[in-house]
Structure 1
Amino acid sequence: MEHGVMNKYLLLSLVLLLLTSCNKYKIEGSASDAGLDGRMLYVKVLNADKVWHSIDSCEVIHGEFSMKGEADSTMMATLFMDNMAILPLVVEKGTMKVTMSGTETKVDGTPLNEELYDFLHKQSELENKVQELLHKESQMILNGENPDEAHEMVNREGKKLSDEMSKLVVDFITGNFDNVLSVGVFALIASNMPYPVVTPEIQQIMDKAPASFKEHFLVKEFMSVAQENMERMNE
């Protein structure tokens, strides 16, 4: 009888240990700017009341920092320095490696973070191509080429880049409806808009979105304001 009770306790302890280990995360990072030494970093999540809540923090010491803990679930979060947002990251099981340098800012080491930063890298490349295209138009005109032809070329190439960017965003968000990246990237895209509107890309996303995505407080609030703005624009 005693052996049976003991075995039950051992089994329960093992289950609890496995459940706890599944939720463990670690964040290891490096910052090349010596001026960051002594500064505090915070991992924050935005709650339904639109208040940033700190779930972890640490101090930058000799260009390095480290945090570890347990999370009840995978969360989209933001790394803050004092009160300034630095970069997005996903708090998930495993070891996340944060790199902050003059040439590179990224988070890798875990699946969702690597997927997120692969997307952000592709997005940045397309944005750089747009800037290069605008510079090319100016250079063509300075070189004596017909301004109308230069403008037509920019419009043609710009349309291709715009279509490529739209596809990148729509495919990424709709391809991640089963995890936190969908709402996280939707919020990032929305925050970079001058004001909320229902763009063709947003409409494509909403047409494909499951209820869980549409009912998220960030998506609901954006769509509510965006639809009001669209109605005003159509008056």
Structure 2
Amino acid sequence: MIKFYSSLILFILALTSCSKSYKVTGVSSVSSLDGKMLYLKTSHNGQWVTVDSAEVIHGEFSMKGSLDSVQLVSLFMDDENIMPMVLEGGNIEISISNTKLTVKGTPLNDKLYAFVDKKASMDTRVEELGRKEAKMILDGVDPEVIKKQMAKESDKLMTEMNAYVKSFICENYENVLGPGVFMMMCSNFPYPLMTPAMEDIVKSSPNCFKNNPLIKEYVTKAHENMQSIQEYQIMQHNAEQQASMVSRPAASAN
């Protein structure tokens, strides 16, 4: 019986060890990557910290190691951020070509790149609207008709896109994908800001999301910036009103 329990403990420890180990294998059809060093980096206190690295040799590279926790990382070539991925236990497969970057093989990476693919498809539909508008202009369609139709189609597509991004973040509040995709959205702004959709995402989130250090810092800075913008707008409005009041007597005297 003692021998049985000893074997069971060793088996459980082996499973625990495997669950915390990762292996990354990558292939690249981009010839310029050969001989280059690739790095897995994670953001820590506003700085990129290297987690692992590998050299690309004949279009292939590999990395392996152990993890204390699942991390959202980025694959870098030198200082260039190539692609996001999740560093989690299991065999992670990366494919790099001139037209597409993919990561698969583990649950969160499969989920992340299903999201990336669908979001890219929606972005393509937005670009197609521009081409459609140009064609309508060349075909001599009335400008007012074009304006109304483009506004309607654009609003519909943006509503669909925002709903999809929100639902993905909400479904992944409690793992690294929720905060990670939220921060990707934030990177579209020149400085921290909060849209109504983003406010809604944070408001309905659990504490584990709200208290994520990156989310907490971003939301705090965004609210400070928005408060400053609002105060500036009020000052500007008051200044314009005062200028208008000063100019009225002069205009009346003339």
TM-score (norm 1): 0.92
CA distance in structure 2 between the partners assigned to 1:149 and 1:81 by the alignment: 47
Distance in structure 2 (CA, Å) of the matches to 1:139 and 1:210: 47
Q: Does 1:50 align with 2:50?
A: no
Counterpart residue identity of residue 187, structure 1: M
Shift of 1:122: 1.1
Q: What are the within-5 Å matches in structure 2 for residues 1-235 of structure 1?
A: 12-47=9-44, 49-235=45-231
- DSSP-derived class of the 2:74 partner: strand
Amino acid at match of 1:45: T
C-alpha displacement of 1:19: 1.8
Match for residue 249 of structure 2?
none
In 2, Cα distance between equivalents of 1:193 and 1:231: 16
Query: RMSD of the TM alignment (CA)?
Result: 1.7
CA distance in 2 between partners of 1:10 and 1:130 (Å): 59
Secondary structure of residue in 1 paired with 2:173 = coil
For 1:25, the aligned partner's letter is Y
SS of the aligned residue for 1:234 comes to: helix
CA deviation profile, 1:62-111 (whole Å, cap 9, x unmatched): 01111111111111111111111100000111111111112211101111
Judged with a 3 Å threshold, the aligned counterparts in structure 2 of structure 1 residues 151 and 190 are, in CA distance, closer, same or farther, namely: same
Q: How big is the shift at 1:184?
A: 0.8
Distance 1:11 1:171 in 2: 41
Larger radius of gyration: 2
Once residues 105 and 7 of structure 2 are traced to their aligned partners in structure 1, the CA distance between those partners, rounded to angstroms, is 33
In 2: Cα distance, 1:148 partner to 1:159 partner: 16
The 3-state SS of whatever aligns with 1:156 is: helix
Which amino acid in the other structure matches residue 142 of structure 1?
L
2: distance between equivalents of 1:56 and 1:197? Answer: 33
Aligned to 1:193, the other structure's residue is in SS state coil
- Gap runs ≥5 in structure 1: none
One-letter amino acid matched to 1:232 = S
> Which stretches in structure 2 are left out of the alignment for 5+ residues?
232-254
Contact preservation (8 Å) 2:174, 2:208: no
- The one-letter code sitting in structure 1 at the alignment partner of 2:29 is S
Identify which range, 164-173 or 219-228, moves more after superposition.
Answer: 219-228
CA distance in 1 between counterparts of 2:120 and 2:12 reads: 44
Q: How many pairs align?
A: 231
Between the aligned partners of 2:110 and 2:217, the Cα distance in structure 1 is 28
Amino acid at match of 2:42: V
